[in-house]
Amino acid sequence: LALRLRERFGGEACLPRCQSLGCGHCSPFDDLARALPERFAAGDGSDALVCVMAAGIVFRLLAPELRSKQEDPAVIVVDEEGRFAVPLLGGHAAGANDLAREMARYLEGEAVLTTASDARGLTAPDQVAERLGPRVADPESLRRVTALLVDGKPVCLEAPSDPGCGDYDWIPPGGDLKAYDGRLLVTHEDAGRREDILTARLVPPVVAAGVGCRRGAAAAEILRAIDEACAGQGVDRLAVGVLASVDTKQDEEGLLEAAAALDAELRWYDAGRLAALGRPGSDFVRRQVGTPAVAEPAALLAAGEDARMLAGKAAYGAVTVALALGSRDRSLPREGEEGAAGGEVTVVGIGAGTGALLTKEAARVLEAADTVVGYRTYIEQVKKILSGDNRDGKRYVSGSMGRERQRCREALAAAAAGQRVALVSSGDPGVYGMAGLLLEMAGDTPVAVAPGITAAQMAAARLGAPLMNDYITLSLSDLLTPREEVLRRAEAAAAADM
């Protein structure tokens, strides 16, 4: 079972030495009581430990090693028959619940979720944080807002745009909070409105810090300069998702250490690209690095298209810092995509009317989507297929039959805003489905197609194997095709003797 899970989900299979003989993909161990705690202690919130054994063994061996929900890896127990996948640690923070669901689906078993929000069918605040990509400003406030939600108290989500989290009323910035006992506040600012309401602040990494510095500047000096720049604009330091500079600084230890301390991505730009933005600078800087300005153009490039300068360059001793705010609500564009919105649309075939015929690829796309667009009947099917936070944590756009172009426009607009979009068709989207129309309208927007099982394939399987060789499928509908043409095609198909 461990080898099956490794093959499907990756990672490393650790087996007792006596069971690993001849297994080229296994890491053997001699003493479980030593090996399991060592693996756990070496992991963090991005890792997962899947234990095919009794839960009691795992409890006893790992109890002395527990640190915090922010630091510990996910721990999942699977019974030896593969019937149950039980997340023990890191249900939300480390993604154990989602991984347990995926494993249960793969094993055709059941995920046993015991977190209070999941038991009540709710989307927990830390799941919202995980999906929106923010950092949590105060874990204790998040815990208290979670308690409100579990107790049935009204909790709202205040954010720049509606992220489609089903258990929370969306309130735009500045909206009325009187009807709520708690709120999740998504903001890059270091403090929101001071209301008589319990608030958990979620900070999306949407700010890019452009940094120029003298050779040998220390990390502490760089971090202090960034802190001062952020404080001057009321920006939370947690919002800094990228630290950017000229590529001649790639060996600067201070910059590398500062980025690690911020948990920020480092990006390097060549002098020509920085100079091309035409930001004001100095001849001295040009002589040193080949461009008159570093901080401002680096911040703007990292923040992407339509970025807004929050703080122009300012010198803090040996360090110069500028801050730019990206145009997206949740994150900065990935490196290499700074000039584009970065969203994409996948046209998904959900099969012939039953979740049993949904492909694994289609399920993966639906689970990963931020927005799902489709005919209202298909949207209801998708909601039945998805579970828990994967269902409620999405934005759904539905419409009536005959509004296909409008649905394509909705999907493309969401992608232009940086969303991962699933445009849903029944059967296969390339067979009498939405794929052709979307590709016709997509322009430069990236489009992928996740195929599905058609009604013709399902019916053929019920009959036996009538499609062994060449075959034709014909639509007899004259709604969009003239009746005469439909009849002519039917006659041609009959004459072909397929």
Q: How far are the Cα atoms of 138, 168, 410, 434, 473 from residue 164, in angstroms, in the given order?
A: 23, 8, 15, 23, 39
Answer yes or no: do 358 and 299 share one domain: no
CATH number for the domain including 19?
3.40.50
pLDDT (tens digit per residue) in 234-270: 999 999 999 999 989 998 999 999 999 998 999 998 8
Answer yes or no: do 158 and 214 share one domain: no
Q: Which residue has the higher pLDDT, 281 or 372?
A: 372
Answer yes or no: do 238 and 304 share one domain: yes
Q: Comparing 130-139, 197-206, 452-461, which segment has the lowest mean pLDDT? A: 130-139
- Inform me whether the pLDDT recorded for 340 exceeds 50: no
Answer yes or no: do 195 and 240 share one domain: no
Answer yes or no: do 186 and 232 share one domain: no
At residue 141, φ and ψ (nearest 5 deg) are -65, -40
Mean pLDDT of the chain: 84
- Inform me whether the pLDDT recorded for 166 exceeds 70: no
What is the band of 443 on the pLDDT scale with cuts at 50, 70, 90? confident
Residue 440 domain flag: yes
- Inform me whether the pLDDT recorded for 15 exceeds 80: yes
Q: Final residue of a domain: which of 180, 203, 226?
A: 203
Q: Comparing 15-19, 240-244, 288-292, 362-366, which segment has the lowest mean pLDDT? A: 15-19
Query: One-letter amino acid identity for 229?
Result: A
Answer yes or no: do 8 and 80 share one domain: yes
Answer yes or no: do 280 and 311 share one domain: yes
- Inform me whether the pLDDT recorded for 225 exceeds 90: yes
pLDDT score, position 162: 66
Domain residue limits at 78: 1-111
Q: How far are the Cα atoms of 99, 111, 236, 286, 343 from residue 160, in angstroms, in the given order?
A: 30, 34, 16, 39, 18
What is the band of 50 on the pLDDT scale with cuts at 50, 70, 90? very high
Decide: residue 92, CB within 10 A, 0-12 exposed, 13-18 middle, 19+ buried. buried
Q: Comparing 336-340, 358-362, 383-387, which segment has the lowest mean pLDDT? A: 336-340
Residue 230 domain flag: yes
- Inform me whether the pLDDT recorded for 132 exceeds 90: no
Residue 14 domain flag: yes
At residue 275, φ and ψ (nearest 5 deg) are -65, -30
Q: Final residue of a domain: which of 56, 86, 111?
A: 111
DSSP per residue, 308-352: EEEEEEEEETTEEEEEEE-SSSS-PPPTT-TTS---EEEEEE-BS
Q: Do the Cβ atoms of 63 and 108 come closer than 8 Å?
A: no
- Inform me whether the pLDDT recorded for 280 exceeds 70: yes
* pTM to 2 decimal places: 0.54
Answer yes or no: do 144 and 106 share one domain: no
Contacts for 253 with CB less than 8 Å, ≥ 6 apart: 219
Answer yes or no: do 305 and 356 share one domain: no
Measure the CA–CA gap between 104 and 207, rounded to whole angstroms: 38
Measure the CA–CA gap between 437 and 429, rounded to whole angstroms: 10
pLDDT score, position 341: 42
Q: How many structural domains does the chain have?
A: 5
Residue 490 domain flag: yes
Name, of 350-359, 417-426, 432-441, the range with top average pLDDT.
Answer: 432-441
Residue 167 domain flag: yes
Q: Which residue has the higher pLDDT, 143 or 329?
A: 143
Buried/exposed code over 175-214 (b: 16+ C-beta within 10 A; e: otherwise)? eebeebbbbbbbbbbbebeeeebbbbbbbbbbbbbbbbbe
Q: Do the Cβ atoms of 83 and 109 come closer than 8 Å?
A: yes
CATH number for the domain including 180?
3.40.1390.40
Through-space distance between the first and last CA atoms of the chain, rounded to whole angstroms: 46
Q: Is 121 helix (H, G, I), strand (E, B) or coil?
A: coil
Answer yes or no: do 104 and 162 share one domain: no
pLDDT (tens digit per residue) in 111-125: 888 876 665 556 667
pLDDT score, position 163: 65
Measure the CA–CA gap between 109 and 84, rounded to whole angstroms: 6
pLDDT score, position 128: 73
Q: Comparing 207-211, 281-285, 326-330, which segment has the lowest mean pLDDT? A: 326-330
Q: Above pLDDT 90, what percent of the chain? A: 25
Q: Percent helix, strand, coil in the chain (nearest 5)?
A: 40, 20, 40
CATH number for the domain including 390?
3.40.1010.10
Q: Which residue has the tokens 């490794």?
A: 6
- Inform me whether the pLDDT recorded for 283 exceeds 90: no
Cα angle 72, 76, 80 (rounded to 5 degrees) comes to 150
- What average pLDDT does range 123-152 have in this prediction? 77
Answer yes or no: do 191 and 259 share one domain: no
Answer yes or no: do 161 and 224 share one domain: no
Residue 330 domain flag: no
Residue 389 domain flag: yes
Residue 84 domain flag: yes
- Inform me whether the pLDDT recorded for 208 exceeds 90: yes
Measure the CA–CA gap between 292 and 141, rounded to whole angstroms: 45
CATH number for the domain including 272?
3.30.420.180
Q: Which residue has the higher pLDDT, 316 or 155?
A: 316
- Inform me whether the pLDDT recorded for 373 exceeds 90: yes
Q: Final residue of a domain: which of 325, 356, 388?
A: 325
- Inform me whether the pLDDT recorded for 193 exceeds 60: no
